Structure 1
Amino acid sequence: MNILLKSAIIVDSSNKALHLKKRDILIKDGSIISIASKIDTPANTKEIKLKNLHVSIGWFDSSVSFGEPGYEERETIANGIATAAKSGFTDLVLNPSSTPVPDTSSDIVFLKNAAQNKGVNLYPLGCLTNDAKGESLAELFDMKNAGAVGFYDAKHPISNPNLLKIALQYTESFEGLVYSYPLDKKIAGKGIVNEGTVSTKLGLKGIPALAEELQIARDLFILEYAGGKLHIPTISTANGVKLIADAKKKGLNVSCSVAIHNLIFDDTVLHDFDSNYKVMPPLRTNKDCKALVKGVKDGIIDFVTSDHTPINIENKKVEFDNADYGTTGLESAFGSLNLLFGLEKTIELLTKGRERYGLETLKFKEGEKAFITLFNPEETFIFKREESVSTSKNSAFIGKELKGKAYGIIANNEVLF
């Protein structure tokens, strides 16, 4: 497929010659052939002109969940990928949150095959332990060879510290990335929201920040002893940021992420008992939000993620106590981050992170594969439930004003709008 993007403003702070410059971009057979101030449209070439068109390297999300296999009513892989493409994402890391969970090499092959020829690249995580039960290590090396980019029990914390130690030591030989979800379940107890003034007023059981921070401190001590590569997903507390900052100063091989909704919302939004705000980790205080935003700006937090978690209506439209955790986030990711950080920082955040997973670093230049996101950073809109293409509509951002909307992507020699 031959494509000519007309008058596109390139956002790529790593390329000073092109950054924020308006250019025509010619793409042939999936590669960038020419970038110039003016290119005449060649024969057999589709010309694309869009209002206030901006382009960047394709966006990357390090934490998405779909339903397939087992929860197809929430989101199939095909519809999840369509949602991601419409939202501007060319590359996704898929959480092992299906049923059965992917804990063998054949499971990883199934997930990769299900995403083939869909335009968006899907990189599955395998479970760290058999059946995600936290009792014995799964076949990590075989899953790595089958295409797993890391090992994670999908928001199930590793309660056995020795198991984490062995996992880090074992995976070091083949540079496997071990996830450890930051929650001490004994401290968290039966809590469902952040422990504090709001939980007390609402009569909801609270999860203290200590439950996250104790687990992070434990994991970092184990990492320092055992070596290996550790990723701590979706942190939510101010002290969590500080603990990871201190570990990085020591030179430990640790990375972390934060969910976009934990940057945007604090626990005061819970007053209406809207179950779309019931997420894990829970929404914390305004002080925590500010510390997380600062952690992102300072580079202590490595990635932001939509933490896209579709939940069917039967599990959300119930009493708050009984509702499942999770919010969708792919479709609101750009518009919410752009409001918070501005254009250049937002694109930096949405395009970083591939290296941690051993994935190819994309470059915006002639001769490179075309993995490009097309977007308008100035369009403001109210995010409406009926406009969501995700099968599940459990978004915390419904009814919120966002700034910036993706047109779609060009990836794997396909145009997906």
Structure 2
Amino acid sequence: MIGLIDCNNFYVSCERVFQPRLEGRPVGVMSNNDGCVIARSSELKALGVEMGTPAFELQQWHDQGHIQLLSSNYELYGDMSARVRNVLEEFSAGVEPYSIDEMFVHFDGFESAGIDALARTLHRRVRQFTGIPVCVGVAPTHTLGKLANRAAKKLPEYAGVCVMQADSTATRHILAGTAVSDVWGIGHRLAEKLALQNIHTAWDLRHSDPHAMRRRFSVTLERTVRELQGTPCLELNDEHRPRDRIMTSRSFGRLTGELGELREAIRQHAQRGAEKLRQQASQARAVLVFLKTNRHRPDLPQYAPSVVVELPEPSDDTRPILAAAQQGLEAIYRRGYRFMKAGVMLLDLVDTNRQQLSLLDSPERAEQRDRDHQLMATLDTLNERMGKGTVRLGVPRQNAAWQLRCAHRSPRWTTQWQELRQVKA
């Protein structure tokens, strides 16, 4: 059996753990640079606020105290997600993170008769140990687990926990009441095509011919049908599998055309990309640098350049990667433009442990490579122990244009010593 644990209104719930005054109030969390609403409490949804609503349209409600708008606090959300996962790992055979607020849990080796009690224990313990409310759906496959979790969230009779067997009256009721477009992996266009085949619900899809679905549509749909029938066919991507490329970028808090500020932004992105390289034991052969103006500002000149700079040899060392990124920036920068975004992408990655060395490599070069590796390992260790950015190349200016605008961000209660909750006697 496979369980899906879904954190309810996760970003808002994280904020409420440390700010109980927000309980019962309409709360929205905004995107980078406080642009639009990306997370809503149930109370805010009830007011008719849609996902993606521009924040400026809600500013009057916020100023009048009718709603609460908060800047995104991803450092807090990431840490709370890790805490939820730690709780789940104590009660399961394995955890597969699907997103920051959804995790699949394996119940291999557990007796079927005890699964319901275990699911309810998870439901209770996650809230008890982290303060985050969750819904739990358990079923024989990932796809059925998704539907079980949906039922746990939307149907009051399940009270947040739904254990779905492959063949049961409850399963039939849930599938028959689920539109085919709400099945995991079925988009609206595919749902329209399935409707022409008289397939309107998840129950209809379950009773279709898997081979016919493969011939008519795709092998992916065939797997979905088999999953609905109770046969596991899906494997989630391994979170530890090395990525083929690494992108680090971010929109600026305000437009800027100053080369110095762009250098700072590129420096931050290049350093972060190099850290990610070392975390997955990879090396890059090339560095791509890009800039973007705001295409939604037709009153300003537009320019969106990019360039690829090849490294002399594959590397995960921050210094040559940073030098290549700065070289790329100098090549594409033009005066007279105001940029809203910059980024660095590390390309053509190779496994560090399988790097092909030159036959002409000297002992001195090998020793230097070992020293470089030790230096980067020391840098990463210090940043891990003392906090991200403790040791870095270059010091960014305060309030630079490239830094995020987050006027309403709550403190990072769990990851920054200087922002710990204070209790007055």
TM superposition score normalised by structure 1: 0.27
From the CA coordinates, give the structure whose radius of gyration is larger: 2
TM normalised by structure 2 equals: 0.27
